[in-house]
Amino acid sequence: MERAAARRPRALLSGAALLLPLVAATADRAAPPPSRWDVTFAIRITGGTGQPMTVRLALPADSQTQQVGDVTVTARGLDATVVRDGSSPPQVVLQGKLNGSRRVAVNYSVHREHQLATMPAVVPLPAPPADLLPFVSPSPVFQSRSILVRDFLETNVSPLLGAAGNADIMRAILQVTRERLVWDPHGKSLTLDVIRSGKGKRVGIERAFTTFLRCAHIPARLVEGLNLASTTPHKRVFWTEVWAQGHWWPVSASHGWVGREPKSYVALTRDGQRVLTVEGPVEASYTVQAVPEDTKT
């Protein structure tokens, strides 16, 4: 009997030990996503022949949902200029005469906040003001006047708009885009190719969605940014911004969220502008490292 009594504490202890990992896992799942990140772009410039060259790296712009701290640049032998005065899109400009290759590091902190407001119903603008006109107009990337685009909307979206209680054209287009255009990592990336094949990469689906909105006279623009929580080298992510009631609202047809992008997303460029551009006889590539500031030691 004494041996039996002595075994009970061990059984209770084992049960408590099993509960500890479950409690820890629950706490991890409940932890809020980081809001402050330390971001480093590692740029590699190659092929220098001693001729003048310029490399530009897009920086995040300050907005209601993201604020960027001081930018530091390590670029041995090159002139580095940080442009954040509002005269042009925020960027780092690297200039000089380069022989061979060079590594450059650009570092900044970024603070992300969620947008709390609910996205309103979106109303087409048949006569948009001048500053919004580029975002309803066709372009080589967004062929909003294509017969293929118009047929897609008339065939798939018009029946939804005729249904009782469905007056939000943007959400109807979003629904149809998600139903008709399937994400495929090996799919197409150009708008008309995505529509023809019915599948595309995430950038292709967002391009098609932006094009559909423009065809419906809804101002829309494509965003390229970073998913700071991603483990990929470039952390590239794409979504669409839609104009409604005096504001640009984020929407993703390839992921399905409306009005509020994930907290780990940071916008870099819009409407096809490149994150990294090169002028002169060199090539450039980059990788991104992002670390939550509260985990840095």
Six token digits for residue 97: 């005469």
Cα–Cα dist 236/290, whole Å:
12
* CATH 3.10.620.30, the chain: domain bounds: 130-262
pLDDT of residue 51: 95
pLDDT at 23: 39
DSSP 213-273: HHHTT--EEEEEEEETT--SSS-EEEEEEEEETTEEEEE-TTT--BS---TTEEEEEETT-
* CA 252 to the chain's CA centroid: 9
Give the Cα separation of 101 and 54 in Å (integer).
14
Mean pLDDT of 241-252: 95
Query: What are the tokens at 79?
Result: 């002139």
At 293, the pLDDT band (50, 70, 90 cuts) reads confident
Secondary-structure class of domain 36-113+276-295 per CATH:
mainly beta
The model's pTM: 0.84
| Each residue's pLDDT tens digit, 108-129 | 999 988 776 789 999 899 899 9
Q: Which residues contact 87 (CB under 8 A, 6 or more apart)?
A: none
Locate CATH 2.60.40.2250 in the chain.
36-113+276-295
Q: At residue 179, does pLDDT exceed 60?
A: yes
Please give the average per-residue pLDDT across 192-206, as a whole number.
97
| Nearest partner of 242 among 86, 115, 113, 123, judged by Cα | 123
Which numeric CATH code is attached to 130-262? Answer: 3.10.620.30
Number of H helices, E strands in the chain: 6, 13
Q: What is the pLDDT of residue 163?
A: 59
Q: β-strand 276-279 against 236-244: which pairing, if any? A: unpaired
**Which of 75-89, 142-156, 193-207, 230-244 bottoms out in mean pLDDT, i.e. has the lowest?**
75-89
The tokens for 236 are: 């590239």
| pLDDT confidence of residue 123 | 86
Q: What is the mean pLDDT of residues 275-294?
A: 94
The pLDDT score that the predictor gives to residue 205 is 98
What does the DSSP 8-state code read for residue 208?
H
Instruction: Work out the mean pLDDT of the chain and round it to a whole number.
Output: 87
Q: State phi, psi for 272 to the nearest 5 degrees.
A: 90, 0
> In the predicted model, what is the mean pLDDT of residues 249-276?
94
Q: Measured between alpha carbons, how far is 271 from 232 in angstroms, rounded to an integer?
A: 23
Angle ∠(95,37,23) on CA atoms, nearest 5 = 155
DSSP-assigned beta bridge partners for residue 53: 96
| Range from 1-10, 47-56, 203-212, 265-274 carrying the lowest mean pLDDT | 1-10
